[in-house]
Amino acid sequence: MNRFTLELLFQIIGVGSASGLFFKDNTLNIISDNSSYLYEYQLKSSELKRHPLADNPAENIAKKIKPDFEAIASYADTLYLFGSGSTQNRNKMVKVNAKTKEVISETDLSDLYLAMQSFAAISPENFNIEGVAYTGESWYFFNRGNGSSGKNIVFTIQGKNLIDDFSIIFSELKLPKIKGVRTGFTDAVHVNDKLYFLAAAENTTSTYNDGAVLGSVIGCIDIEKMKVDFTRKITDTHKFEGLTLYRQSADDITFLLCEDNDTDKLQADIYQLSLKK
């Protein structure tokens, strides 16, 4: 995959700090890292709906108390929303009916996240889940290596549940640098036995504090080998955080991306990225 095209497709007014996407049936589901809503955007009508994920939903939640939803995964008729785990109040998984958008359950993933940190020898300060993909059998959690240790890790989780009956395998992957700064995972999606991912470079060594944006890459991982097939730099100026499959053909694969502007502005820029296979 040598060639790509990247273009701003549309803007959604009313969604800020978009951090994850899932597209299906001409509907774009969006999560925000400082909101307790699930957003539903209809591409044909441009209609935006907000679905509460908590009893007292809010937007632009203060950094210290926000749930920090950074990852959205889908399987069958269910959406799974994940907190980043970068602080103790960010360990929640919310299970949502993909059709009705009603909350099915909430789960505390503290034990799972602690087990991940223990297995991979990651300190709490270097733990930051930014992407999750689910195949129905295996979960893939992507730790963004933007802490001081710089560990970009894919955790493969299998078992009956994510609470007290699971097994963990982890793979530390080396991602490219942009302007001398190592990129870190920001999202991932499962497509055709591959894991496509985004990774961004910020001039920071903190999983909590933001830094100057240096660019983003798209990449692909072979699930069987758990090796990076390729990476391509797609921008020097944008921090892309959300990735979902839009369409594919025999020759091309196209994704929708969202950009986290790390501000309180309620506007989401949605980009289209097309890659030659």
Q: Would you identify the CATH topology of the domain 4-276?
A: Neuraminidase (2.120.10)
pLDDT of residue 118: 97
pLDDT in tens, 170-212: 999 999 999 999 999 999 999 999 999 999 999 866 556 667 8
3-state secondary structure the chain: CCCEEEEEEEEEECCCCEEEEEEECCEEEEEECCCCEEEEEECCCCCEEEEECCCCCCCCCCCCCCCCEEEEEEECCEEEEEECCCCHHHCEEEEEECCCCCEEEEEECHHHHHHHHHHHCCCHHHCCEEEEEECCCCEEEEECCCCCCCCCEEEEEEECCCCCCEEEEEEECCCCEECCEECEEEEEEEECCEEEEEEEEEECCCCCCCCEEEEEEEEEEECCCCEEEEEEEEECCCCEEEEEEEEECCCEEEEEEEECCCCCCCEEEEEEEEEEC
Domain map (residue ranges) of the chain: 4-276
pLDDT of residue 206: 59
Confidence bin at 277 (pLDDT 50/70/90): confident
Confidence bin at 276 (pLDDT 50/70/90): very high
pLDDT of residue 148: 80
pLDDT of residue 211: 76
Instruction: Report whether pLDDT(262) > 80.
Output: no
Q: Percent of the chain at pLDDT above 90? A: 86
pLDDT of residue 205: 64
pLDDT in tens, 137-159: 999 999 999 878 889 999 999 99
pLDDT in tens, 213-232: 999 999 999 999 999 999 99
Instruction: Report whether pLDDT(2) > 70.
Output: no
pLDDT of residue 149: 81
Confidence bin at 265 (pLDDT 50/70/90): confident
Supply the pTM of this predicted model.
0.95
pLDDT in tens, 91-131: 999 999 999 999 999 999 999 999 999 999 999 999 999 99
pLDDT in tens, 14-66: 999 999 999 999 999 999 999 999 999 999 999 999 999 999 999 999 988 98
